[in-house]
């Protein structure tokens, strides 16, 4: 049935368009001769502006022209359009002005990813785009500090899991207002599926399976003013989880009834639409169904941060009888302990071990989609675990912890999302052995909107895992994380249920990690970060 839906979704003229754009960049489009913006009077900047992936001398500026975002190609002709960009140190665009022209190409959905280079490090900027007579909103961004620089602080927001239908993006609204260097978004940026039981607002249409379908879904998200404000206010670093493509997919294996070839076509469409709507480097542009999103970011001597990909290269969840991907509660089964099973894939696993071994950062932040610390539940029938989580990949997790434990110095903190609860946890060299040493700390953020498991289940989970120091699923949230040379502080911002964009947000708890002492400690002072003078 799912397969039939896919084929229907690709039927008729949409097939030619979707497959043509995905697989055969035809001559006749994508040439270098730009056309003027059609004079319809519609604003082409409906999806806003964004920036991301700052390095010491560069930053990526993004926009996508789409005067009518739910029409094919956003209502634009199948021709390249000329687009001007400007970046300056002041809001009036006078000091340190840089400008250029680029082409918004139809084969990229008229999106642009401008990597502005040769910029001074550790500086804040304003940017905007112009197309014909139309001018975009002004965005703010920054470059990272130079590689060897002594940096006094890094302040970031950690966020994940924003189901559009399940709540207002009140937390993005607060993130937009914060004084931050970065937003780190660790997955479930969008949801492909709908749950009719929890619906405060509606998606634009059915589950996407084609490039045009995923473009429309991304447009729904970018039309949200709070999400647009958050993108415009700060540079973002991104990785993904499953819902950007499909619930619980694992590598090239689908959760649904699709065979691998059909699923890889869906994954290619989803990755391409993701690329077209995110402020990521043009070098990350997907090739077919592959897109490398894992990356390293430096913040002077203070921190190294890596984004890691938990989905594209992982083994299928253990012990699924029907060969389809998907998480479920499991007892023990032989395949769980198969050492060849992987979360990162062999080459990403090797890469992050190498990166950790050579990092000079005082802090080493591993941003990936989900909770690393055990979340299994102790029952009278023995331990039960959720097979889509790191608990379902125990040997891969041991290898990650070994890479963390082996690095000579520096404090490792894992940052995650996906589980829709705020979590603070200790990470041990062997996470399943409480006698093994604590080697790292972990913070997992609650969801921006997505509903969660009951708090009763979480209480049970807390009782079963002494290394979980904090776990609360009753509130949605994001985390404000500030680090300096001595300590890292995580303020868990939360709201009960964001029905309105103006929902009240409070601090659920604050945790600190001191340099040289792995493991979060409750911050008894509880001074709100946002009120600390800087």
Smaller CB separation from Ca ion, 189 or 299: 189
Supply the minimum distance, in Å, between the C-beta of residue 342 and Ca ion. Answer: 18
Smaller CB separation from Fe ion, 159 or 161: 161
Residue 510 has which token pair? Answer: 């604050």
Q: In what order do the strands lie in the sheet with 438-444?
A: 295-299, 303-307, 363-367, 411-416, 438-444, 422-428, 468-472
Residues 492-521 that bind Ca ion (CB under 5 A): none
Q: Count other C-beta atoms under 10 Å from residue 62's C-beta.
A: 26
Smaller CB separation from Fe ion, 161 or 512: 161
Q: Is the torsion defined by CA of 167, 501, 51, 54 positive or negative?
A: negative
Smaller CB separation from Ca ion, 286 or 417: 417
Supply the minimum distance, in Å, between the C-beta of residue 418 and Ca ion. Answer: 4
Residue 504 has which token pair? Answer: 């009240």
Supply the minimum distance, in Å, between the C-beta of residue 187 and Fe ion. Answer: 7
Supply the minimum distance, in Å, between the C-beta of residue 147 and Ca ion. Answer: 34
Smaller CB separation from Ca ion, 418 or 442: 418
Could you give the count of Cα atoms lying within 13 Å of 71 in the half-sphere of its Cβ?
11
Stretch touching Ca ion by CB under 5 A, among 132-140, 182-190, 218-226, 458-466: 182-190
Rounded alpha-carbon distances, angstroms, from residue 364 to 151, 252, 302, 412, 462 = 14, 30, 9, 5, 26
Q: Does 309 bind Ca ion (CB under 5 A)?
A: no
Stretch touching Ca ion by CB under 5 A, among 143-151, 232-240, 254-262, 413-421: 413-421
- 181 binding partner (options Ca ion, Fe ion, none; Cβ < 5 to 8 Å by kind): none
Question: Any idea what DSSP says for residue 47?
Answer: T
The residues near 205 (Cβ < 8 Å, ≥ 6 apart) are: 213, 216
Q: Does 388 bind Ca ion (CB under 5 A)?
A: no
Smaller CB separation from Ca ion, 142 or 207: 207
Residue 407 has which token pair? Answer: 């690095």
CB 240 within 8 A of CB 189: yes
Supply the minimum distance, in Å, between the C-beta of residue 199 and Ca ion. Answer: 19
Q: Beta strands of 300-352 (E only): which ranges?
A: 303-307, 329-330
Supply the minimum distance, in Å, between the C-beta of residue 454 and Ca ion. Answer: 18
For residue 400, report the phi and psi dihedrals to the nearest 5 degrees: -65, -45
DSSP calls for 468-479: EEEEE-SSEEEE
- 242 binding partner (options Ca ion, Fe ion, none; Cβ < 5 to 8 Å by kind): Ca ion
Q: Count other C-beta atoms under 10 Å from residue 30's C-beta.
A: 16
Residues in the site for Fe ion, rule: CB under 5 A?
Answer: 161, 188, 450
Q: Beta strands of 147-284 (E only): which ranges?
A: 154-159, 182-185, 235-238
Q: Does 241 bind Ca ion (CB under 5 A)?
A: yes
Supply the minimum distance, in Å, between the C-beta of residue 384 and Fe ion. Answer: 21
Smaller CB separation from Fe ion, 119 or 448: 448
86, 107, 174, 242: which one binds Ca ion (CB under 5 A): 242
Smaller CB separation from Ca ion, 359 or 368: 368
Give the residue at shortest CB distance from Ca ion: 241
Stretch touching Ca ion by CB under 5 A, among 242-250, 277-285, 301-309, 477-485: 242-250
Rg over CA atoms, the chain: 22
Smaller CB separation from Ca ion, 64 or 243: 243
Smaller CB separation from Ca ion, 451 or 487: 451
Supply the minimum distance, in Å, between the C-beta of residue 6 and Ca ion. Answer: 21
The residues near 489 (Cβ < 8 Å, ≥ 6 apart) are: 481, 482, 483, 510, 511, 512, 523, 529
418, 442, 475, 482: which one binds Ca ion (CB under 5 A): 418
Supply the minimum distance, in Å, between the C-beta of residue 127 and Ca ion. Answer: 31
Q: Does 226 bind Ca ion (CB under 5 A)?
A: no
Rounded alpha-carbon distances, angstroms, from residue 444 to 228, 229, 395, 419, 472 = 24, 24, 21, 8, 11
Query: Residue count at the site for Ca ion (CB under 5 A)?
Result: 4
Stretch touching Ca ion by CB under 5 A, among 7-15, 99-107, 181-189, 512-520: 181-189
- 391 binding partner (options Fe ion, Ca ion, none; Cβ < 5 to 8 Å by kind): none
Smaller CB separation from Fe ion, 51 or 312: 312
Stretch touching Ca ion by CB under 5 A, among 115-123, 196-204, 205-213, 411-419: 411-419
Smaller CB separation from Fe ion, 161 or 183: 161
Q: First-to-last CA distance in the chain?
A: 57
Q: Does 181 bind Ca ion (CB under 5 A)?
A: no
Supply the minimum distance, in Å, between the C-beta of residue 160 and Fe ion. Answer: 7
Query: Is 462 buried (19+), middle (13-18) or exposed (0-12) by CB count in 10 A?
Result: middle
Supply the minimum distance, in Å, between the C-beta of residue 188 and Ca ion. Answer: 5
d(CA 487, CA 492): 16
Beta bridge pairs of residue 377: 384
- 304 binding partner (options Fe ion, Ca ion, none; Cβ < 5 to 8 Å by kind): none
Supply the minimum distance, in Å, between the C-beta of residue 498 and Fe ion. Answer: 15
- State the SS3 of 85-143: EEEECCCCCCCCCEEEEEEECHHHCCEEEEEECCCCCCCEEEEEEEECCEECCCEEEEC
The binding site for Ca ion (CB under 5 A) comprises 188, 241-242, 418
């Amino acid at each position: 049935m799912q397969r039939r839906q896919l084929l229907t979704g690709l039927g008729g003229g949409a097939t030619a368009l979707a497959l043509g754009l995905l697989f055969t960049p035809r001559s006749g489009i994508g040439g270098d001769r730009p056309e003027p913006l059609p004079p319809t009077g519609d604003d082409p900047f409906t999806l806003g502006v964004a920036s991301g992936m700052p390095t010491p001398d560069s930053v990526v500026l993004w926009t996508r022209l789409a005067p009518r975002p739910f029409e094919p190609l956003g209502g634009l002709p199948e021709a390249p359009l000329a687009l001007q960009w400007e970046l300056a140190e002041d809001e009036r665009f006078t000091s340190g002005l840089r400008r250029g022209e680029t082409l918004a190409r139809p084969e990229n959905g008229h999106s642009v990813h401008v990597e502005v280079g040769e910029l001074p490090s550790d500086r804040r900027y304003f940017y905007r785009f112009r197309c014909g007579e139309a001018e975009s909103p002004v965005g703010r961004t920054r470059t990272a500090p130079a590689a060897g620089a002594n940096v006094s602080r890094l302040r970031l927001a950690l966020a994940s899991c924003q189901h559009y239908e399940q709540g207002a993006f009140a937390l993005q609204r607060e993130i937009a207002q914060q004084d931050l260097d970065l937003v780190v978004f660790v997955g479930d940026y969008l949801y492909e599926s709908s749950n009719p039981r929890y619906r405060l607002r509606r998606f634009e249409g059915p589950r996407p399976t084609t490039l045009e379908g995923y473009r429309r879904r991304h447009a729904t998200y970018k039309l949200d003013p709070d999400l647009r404000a958050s993108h415009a206010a700060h540079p973002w670093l991104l990785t993904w989880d499953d819902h950007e493509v499909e619930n619980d997919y694992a590598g090239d294996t689908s959760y649904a009834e699709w065979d691998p070839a059909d699923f890889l076509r869906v994954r290619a469409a989803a990755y391409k639409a993701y690329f077209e709507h995110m402020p990521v480097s043009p070098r990350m542009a997907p090739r077919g169904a592959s897109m490398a999103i894992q990356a390293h970011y430096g913040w002077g001597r203070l921190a190294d941060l890596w984004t890691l990909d938990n989905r594209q290269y992982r083994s299928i969840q253990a012990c699924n009888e029907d060969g389809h991907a998907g998480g479920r509660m499991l007892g023990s089964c032989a395949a769980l302990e198969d050492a060849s099973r992987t979360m990162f894939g062999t080459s990403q696993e090797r890469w992050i071990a190498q990166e950790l071994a050579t990092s000079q950062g005082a802090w080493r932040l591993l941003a990936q989609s989900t909770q690393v610390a055990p979340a299994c539940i102790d029952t009278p029938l023995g331990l039960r675990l959720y097979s889509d989580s790191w608990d379902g990949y125990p040997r891969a997790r041991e290898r990650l912890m070994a890479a963390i434990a082996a690095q000579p110095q520096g404090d490792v903190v894992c940052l995650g999302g996906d589980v829709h609860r705020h979590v603070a946890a200790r990470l041990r060299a062997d996470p399943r052995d409480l006698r093994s040493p604590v080697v790292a700390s972990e913070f997992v953020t609650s969801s921006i909107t997505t509903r969660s498991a009951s708090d009763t289940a979480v209480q049970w989970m807390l009782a079963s895992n002494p290394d979980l120091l904090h776990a609360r699923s009753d509130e949605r949230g994001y985390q404000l994380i500030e680090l300096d040379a001595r300590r890292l502080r995580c303020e868990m911002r939360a709201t009960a249920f964001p029905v309105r964009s103006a929902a009240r947000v409070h601090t659920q708890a604050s945790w600190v990690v001191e340099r040289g002492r792995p493991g979060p400690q409750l911050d008894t002072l509880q001074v709100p970060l946002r009120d600390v003078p800087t």
